[in-house]
Amino acid sequence: MARPRTFDEDVVITRAAEVFSRLGYNACSIDDLVEATALQRGSLYKAFGSKRGLFEKVLNRFLVSEWHGSPAALDLLITALRELVPADLPIAALCRTALDAYEGDAAKLIGGRLLDHLPTHELSKE
Amino acid sequence: MPRLVLTDRDLIVHLTAWESIWSLRRSFRVPLAHVRGATEDNGFGGGALGLRIPGTYIPGLIAAGTFIKDGDKQFVYTRPKLQTMVIELAGNDWARLVIGVPDVRAEVARINAAVARHH
């Protein structure tokens, strides 16, 4: 039997969150997650069950009471809304709970975050 | 190609006669209670497979049978023309199933939805 590996789950979740935010959910491969977290492939599966299981843990960690003040949490929420929510009831419920807890205008908040990604200067055509 | 059937309680993997010859396994059944989730993972191969006992492994052509990696027993059936899905198990003799399917994203969604309904 192989020696059980120990790792810091907080560090793994933080690194996975960065990759999901940058690449999106579907475009993020297990190879990307293995590279970012420095975990063995088997350890990743054993710890989280699936890519979806890891994403759900990441969302749970980021969609806490003050999530609306965190650009990282907003990016993850946008990824979940775009790619998972239409066919994934548990993830949809997580997003709904976070949105219901926010007292401001969630549409404006999410739209504003999307527009943050638009460069302010004309991109050079060269 | 392997065919995956979901019932209310089980996930059943049907292998054709040829696939059974390569993998030395007949079709088998896993309770949904043992399924933790499914993942699209086309990078699963080579070193992730581990040691083949018993089965068939010709790199670039076929990986089929029982593989042991870090003490985990994995059932594998993949071919280059198929996309790879990893089904992680718990409380089962097998640690995971690594199965080639033609439309991996649809299969993954179907299995994860069944798992969510069951758990």
Residue B98 belongs to domain with CATH number: 2.30.29
pLDDT at B63: 93
**CA–CA separation, B23 vs B99, rounded Å?**
12
Could you tell me the pTM of the whole model? Answer: 0.92
Number of folded domains in chain A? 1
Q: Find chain B residues with C-beta within 8 A of A57's C-beta.
A: none
* Residues β-bridged to residue B29: B12
Q: Which of A83, A80, A82, A69 is nearest to A113 (CA)?
A: A69
B39 vs A: CB within 8 A: yes
- A interface toward B at CB cutoff 8 Å? 1-2, 26, 29-31, 34, 40-42, 45-46, 49-53, 87-90
The tens digit of pLDDT for each residue in A63-119 reads: 998 999 999 999 999 999 999 999 999 999 999 999 999 999 999 999 999 999 898
Measure in Å the smallest separation between the Cα of A75 and chain B Cα atoms. Answer: 22
- What does R_g of chain B's alpha carbons equal in angstroms? 13
Burial of B15 (0-12, 13-18, 19+ CB in 10 A): buried
What's the domain range around A51?
9-118
State yes or no: pLDDT of A1 exceeds 50: no
As for how many domains chain B has, the answer is 1
Give me the amino acid identity at A17.
A
Write the CATH number for A102: 1.10.357.10
- CA torsion sign for B105, A74, A21, A40 is negative
Query: Which chain A residue's Cα is nearest to B35?
Result: A49
Domain that includes residue B109, residue range: 3-118
Token pair recorded at residue B58: 């010709």
For residue B70, give Cα distances in angstroms to A1, A6, A45, A50, B110.
Answer: 6, 14, 13, 18, 29
Q: Look at residue A126 and tell me if it is in a domain.
A: no
